[in-house]
Amino acid sequence: MNSFVFCNPTRIFFGEGAVKNLAGQLSNYGNNVLLAYGRGAIKKEGIYDAVMKILRDCGKNVFELSGIMSNPTAAKVREGVAICKENKIDLILAVGGGSTIDCCKAVAAGSLIEGDFWEEFFEKHMVPDKAIPIGTILTMVGTASEMNGNAVITNEEKKIKGSFFSPASYPRFSILDPTYTYSVPQYQMVSGICDIMSHIMEQYFSGTDDNISDDLSEALMKSIIKNARIAVKNPRDYTARSNIMWGATVALNGILGCAKTQDWEVHQIEHQLAAYYDDIAHGMGLAAVTPAYFRYIYKSGLNKFRQFAVNVWGVSPENKTDEQIALEGIGRLEAFFKEIGAAVSLRELGITDKGKFDEIAGSCNIKTGGYQILTRDDIKKILDECF
């Protein structure tokens, strides 16, 4: 294995009823808390009332940042920064999924700098070394933002969906109760499952050495596939939903990426699709792009794609070439996406023409950690295949 450094400081409280740990964690921080959430789902399910009671019982002064959208915008981050600066917030409590948590990470770091967060983090590529402490209560799984330092934000004016990382952005604690995810619509649950699979594959399809990280990735992919099939039939199966929840966290808390170069080009393509078509669910966009991308690059990483087909999907190699095996594995991945109800084309996401594809391809970041370094023309061809 290649050399690596691994550190993850987030404390996890996992299981049904895990919110009972919130009061103990709140005692570690000052009195001014920013409660951040999305567009009201937590109020319908009683989560908001339960959290507010704990906050009030602990004597906290609560300020709110609500209405965080599925692709959090720079404007929403700036709204949160203004609240934090005006009220000297001591802790940000993000209740929701990855979008809410990502928004809060940008707010937390952006509140402790003089300039604008977008200019500093996304244009000057400053890595913030401090942030307001964050705690999370997870209600939708997929991003692992509850246990990493990454955040993805969309600048609607510039049509850029970008990401930043900071060691200061790791949540101090995260509360993971699988029952809090039961109310998520099945479409969103499936989108999260596709996001989990993509996170694993972005790390898996890189490197050439015999790597225990790849062994872990294969085992986790098989677990997610098995439990996803159960969850789409019975969304309240606690075992399946708890396995998916923890699997999502492990998929991108850093452990699978140890000693890996990592790809992430599929995410770059999807990010720009979402920047131009803002109603695309992230995981669904990934599912629509991934099979076409893999068919475009598989020959450059043939051994790994063969391994993926055999070890993850159980493809029989008998009387088949390596290319046939690899393509069968990609086909089974695509069939799995269809089986659980994911989109496998851009048309299924409501994109009706190719008019923006040249511009989207031209705006994509080009990553260098995978098996093939794409050109803008390559990305345009992949988008055409996804259509």
pLDDT (tens digit per residue) in 343-362: 999 999 999 999 999 999 99
Give me the pLDDT at residue 365, please. 94
The answer to whether residue 278 scores a pLDDT higher than 90 is no
Report the SS3 class of residue 227. Answer: helix
Give me the pLDDT at residue 44, please. 87
- Beta-bridge mates of residue 165: 150
Check if 11-180 and 187-386 are the same fold. Answer: no
The answer to whether residue 167 scores a pLDDT higher than 80 is yes
- Residue 63's contacts (CB-CB under 8 Å, 6 or more residues apart) are 32, 33, 34, 35, 83, 87, 89
Range list of β-strands (E), 289-351: none
Whether residue 169 contacts residue 8, with contact meaning beta carbons closer than 8 Å, is answered with no
Confidence at 155, pLDDT banded by 50, 70, 90: very high
Domain ranges, ordered by start, for the chain: 11-180, 187-386
CB atoms within 10 A of CB 56: 11
Confidence at 279, pLDDT banded by 50, 70, 90: confident
Report the SS3 class of residue 231. Answer: helix
What tens digit of pLDDT does each residue of 288-297 get?
999 999 999 9
The answer to whether residue 210 scores a pLDDT higher than 80 is yes
Fold of 11-180: Rossmann fold (3.40.50)
Question: Residue 373: what residue type?
Answer: I
Domain 187-386 has CATH 3.90.78.10: no
